[in-house]
Amino acid sequence: MDYKNVQSAPGSPAVFESSQQYLRSANIAIQLTLFLKNLGYDSRAHIDGDYEVICPLVARDAGLGEIGRMGLLMTPHLGPRVRIAVVTTNAPLVPGEYQPDRNMIEFCRVCKKCADCCPGNSIPTDDMLEIDGVSRWRIDSDSCYRYWCTSGTDCGRCMAVCPFSHRNNLFHNTIRVLIRYSRLFARLAYHADDLFYGRKPKSKPPSEWMRI
Ligand code: SF4
Ligand code: SF4
């Protein structure tokens, strides 16, 4: 998702960006589904509004990232700034292997910035829970949705403030790699993020073309 538009959350440009990327992921998923069907395999696209799986959990098992405190997939280069779709199929595939990113989880344990900034008080501040056999955080989706209904947007403030949502550039990618391999650096990065961006960063203007 576009960095600037996400930074404007909970403003409406973040919702526009979200819809745009859900649409793109759905396009890709449906094309892939049709391709597999043409090869003779059963397949199904799981896209926004029509899921039979929990996409972030599938994506985590496929090795695409971790599940952060805010319950979203945290990817290595864009953090939670992604929208995903899933394709299930009976095609014979070679299974990928989930490699836990323990330092990203450790970062989430101490950071809690999304929880501190959540206007709906929906993100837990305590430790992970065992949910359906998986250890993870789970947000209070009722209070999150209540905030969406009162604010008139899909919020996304948690995604905007997350230190892993910074730009996909050499500087921030180097920091992401260092966090992955050094727990000490992860601690330093957590403090540095508060120092440079603030504990409760304010919404920023969206991309130029999105401004009215
Ligand atoms: S803001 Fe902090 S605690 Fe929340 S998901 Fe991002 S890294 Fe984890
Ligand atoms: S979308 Fe908004 S209300 Fe919902 S969890 Fe994120 S910050 Fe909280």
- Domains in the chain: boundaries: 3-199
- Count CA atoms closer than 13 A to 47's CA, side-chain side: 19
Ligand 1 site-directed mutation target among 127, 164, 193, most atoms within 8 Å of CB: 164
Alpha carbon of 67 to ligand 1 centroid (Å): 10
Lowest mean pLDDT among 15-19, 104-108, 117-121, 131-135: 131-135
**Confidence (pLDDT) at 37:** 98
Alpha carbon of 193 to ligand 1 centroid (Å): 11
Q: Which residue has the tokens 């180097």?
A: 174
212 has pLDDT over 80: no
Alpha carbon of 202 to ligand 2 centroid (Å): 15
pLDDT by residue (tens digit) across 70-122?
999 999 899 999 999 999 999 999 988 888 899 999 999 999 999 999 999 99
pLDDT by residue (tens digit) across 194-208?
999 999 999 999 998
CA–CA separation, 25 and 67 (whole Å): 19
CA distances from 67 to 28, 142, 199 (A): 23, 19, 21
CA–CA separation, 33 and 35 (whole Å): 5
- Rounded to an integer, the average pLDDT of 5-20 is 94
